[in-house]
Structure 1
Amino acid sequence: MSRIVTVAAAQLGPIQKADSRESVVARMIALMEQAKAKGATFIVYPELALTTFFPRWYHENRAEADHWFEATMPSPATQPLFDKAKALGMAMSFGYAELTPDGHHFNTSILVDKTGKIVGKYRKIHLPGHVDYDTSRSHQHLEKRYFEPGDLGWPVWEFEGGLMGMAICNDRRWPETYRVMGLQGVEMVVLGFNTPSVNAQRGDEKIEDRMFHHRLSCQSGAYQNATWVVAVAKAGDEDGHHCMGGTLIVDPNGKIVGEIDHEDDGILVHACDLDATIFGKETIFDFKRHRRVEHYGLITERVGVGAPLGK
């Protein structure tokens, strides 16, 4: 018998610096209601869903960025989202900037079950960008200034009748992200992203190239681990800075089964059969039969490129 999870990939259009948390939560609730009307039982929102993509703004004193962070979750501003999810019987995942009680800063995503309980947390590991203001870039991308690398690894949870994992934005470009979850049998990876439409260090790499790399990363991760991938964008012009869209759902064969073709608030709903992951996991990507870990040492021994092993 098939195991169907009807997912709504809930893209958010631009969020400006002046927009309140309450106004964004109202938009998220509106998308949730649309998703419920279309039969979805699980809704996925983007990275940093509650705010603008603030790492583009430089503060000499990094603590001046703390107002973008959530010290509690749910917070008073986000409680209505949790209440609506519980009322509708909707599971959800979304990203936010997390400030821990002991003062640590993470780019975080959570899994919330249909009762409104947080049952999973992931903290972004592959932080892109830089620490200090860089005059050579067309725009700043200061995630390394405002966030610490995640410290929770890539767990996989039993969730919505299957095995669920999370990643965030730049994580999708790294095969290790998917493989660590693949080795736990992951059947669906959900990830949010905020991706500038132009490369800050290569001006001729515009949105067409960025979208190509985005799709390639999600499709290869899905195929090579026989898993569904649900990738959700925050898109559009935020205070003069443009983020690309590209919200999409990829099946376990690496095929895109749906994609949003605009940069506004919107949902993409798809009934994902988790049993569609079985064939790939039992054949070409049967890790137990085919992996040769004795030859993979460099993957964990080296951080950067070193000397070749050949004579």
Structure 2
Amino acid sequence: MDRHLTLAVCQTGPVQRSATRAETVGRLVHLLERAAAAGAELAVFPEMALTTFFPRWTLDESEIEGFYEERVPGPQTQPLFDAARRLRLGFALGYSEIADEDGRKRRFNTMDLVDADGSLVGRYRKIHLPGSEASEAGTTVHLERRYFEPGNLGFPVFAYRGARIGLALCNDRRWPETYRMLCLNGAEVVLIGYNTPAVLAEAPTLDHLRMFHNHLPMQAGAYQNTVWVAAAAKAGVEEGQALIGGSCIIAPTGEIAALAVSVDDEVIVHRADLGLIDTCRRVNFDFARYRRPSEYGLIAERAGPVA
């Protein structure tokens, strides 16, 4: 039986610090409407889609409160969920979460998967946090470790319209463990949101490779784990920092099936053939047949340096 899921990637241009939550949510609603008009069945928005990328600054406690969501949906984000219900279109949304857990306030870089009726399907919290807790001379300011703690939900996979959906955020996409864990958990589609600088102060000689290095791990992850990947960027010049675009939909063959052409608000759509997963798996990556972790061997722990 043929199985397809029409995916939409909703790239946004920059979200400046002066933008109100209502303005930003309005942009997301418009993108969701465009995706629905194009026949999409599931959409993905960028990482931290509701605000500017505030980890580029060193801020104190009083300055960061407004960047986090205490609950989703909340009064300011409810219009997006209402739009999902009206359009019958589910989505994945990246945002900054503050939660009461273990008797304290905890902050996570989070992505929610939302059903076509506006209800929560599942939640992922970013595991691979880049950067540091303090600004360092000669480096691009990325202070995610200052404002978030690593996710504590693992790599869950959720059912949506007969497909198995996994979630990831930004730096997660660079690590092979992300795709392998999601694949082992049964994912057929991986939705990713990201905010990625176009240049790195610590490695200017690699600036020309930024887009190549953006797509490379996602294409490899899709191919080696036989999954569809749909990745949404926040792009353009945001608060003086250029962010790459390159939002894309990647097939289990590793091919880019759809690619954004701007660094502004843009929607790309592709009808993903889920049957292609089985075809690719039969060719090279039938895990049940070929993957033998018990036979790989382990490197013994050593008390001292290797002679």
TM-score range, shorter chain: over 0.9
**Matching of residues 23-62 of structure 1 within 5 Å:** 23-59=23-59, 61-62=60-61
Indicate whether 1:219 and 2:219 are aligned: yes
Q: Which of the residues 85, 107, 120 maps onto 2:122?
A: 120
Tell me the SS of whatever aligns to 2:219.
helix
SS in 2 for 1:100: strand
Distance 2:221 2:8 in 1: 20
> What's the CA shift string for 1:60-90, capped at 9, x where partnerless?
x345322200001001110000001101101
Equivalence for 1:242: 242
Q: Residues 281-307 of structure 1, C-alpha deviation per residue, up to 9 Å, x if partnerless?
A: 2341111111121255659x99xxx96
Alignment of 1:64-103 (within 5 A): 64-102=63-101, 103=105
Aligned partner letter, 2:74 = S
Change (3 A) 1:215 1:307: farther
The answer for the alignment partner of 2:160 in structure 1 is 159
Query: Which amino acid in 2 is paired with 1:135?
Result: A
Deviation for aligned residue 1:280: 2.1
Write out aligned runs for 1:140-289 (5 A).
140-206=141-207, 208-289=208-289
Map Cα deviations across residues 186-230 of structure 1 (whole Å, 9 max, x no partner).
110000000000113112222x31110111111000000000000
TM-score by length of 2: 0.94
Unaligned runs of 5+ in 2: none
- CA shift in 2, pair 1:63/1:130, >3 Å: farther
Deviating beyond 6 angstroms after TM superposition, the runs of 4 or more aligned structure 1 residues are none
State how far apart, in whole Å, the 1-side matches of 2:65 and 2:168 are: 23
Residues 1:129 and 1:233: Cα distance change in structure 2 (over 3 Å): same
1:204 aligns to what SS in structure 2? helix
Q: 1:129 aligns with which of 128, 131, 145?
A: 131
- Greater shift, 276-285 or 85-94, is seen at 276-285
Same amino acid, percent of matched pairs: 47
Residues 178 and 81 (structure 1), Cα distance of their counterparts in 2 relative to 1, 3 Å cut: same
1:200 & 1:77 partners in 2: Cα distance? 36
Given the superposition, is the C-alpha separation of residues 24 and 297 from structure 1 closer, same or farther in structure 2, using an over 3 Å criterion? farther
Which ranges of structure 1 fall in alignment gaps of 5 or more residues? none
Q: Distance in 2 between matches of 1:287 and 1:280?
A: 11
Counterpart among 100, 106, 109 of residue 107 in structure 1: 109
Letter in 2 for 1:115: D
CA distance in 2, matches of 1:203, 1:10: 29
Residues 284/124 of structure 1: CA separation in 2 closer, same or farther (3 Å cut)? same
SS in 2 for 1:121: strand
SS where residue 136 of structure 1 aligns? coil
User: Counterparts of 2:22 and 2:6 in 1: how far apart (Å)?
Assistant: 27
Secondary structure of the residue aligned to 1:64 is: helix
Shift of 1:134: 1.3
SS in structure 1 at match of 2:204: coil
Q: Describe the superposition over 1:108-165 as per-residue Cα deviations: whole angstroms up to 9, x where unpaired.
A: 001001110011100000000111121222x310001100000001011111211110
The number of equivalent residue pairs is 302
* Letter of the 1:126 counterpart: H
Cα RMSD after superposing both structures: 1.8
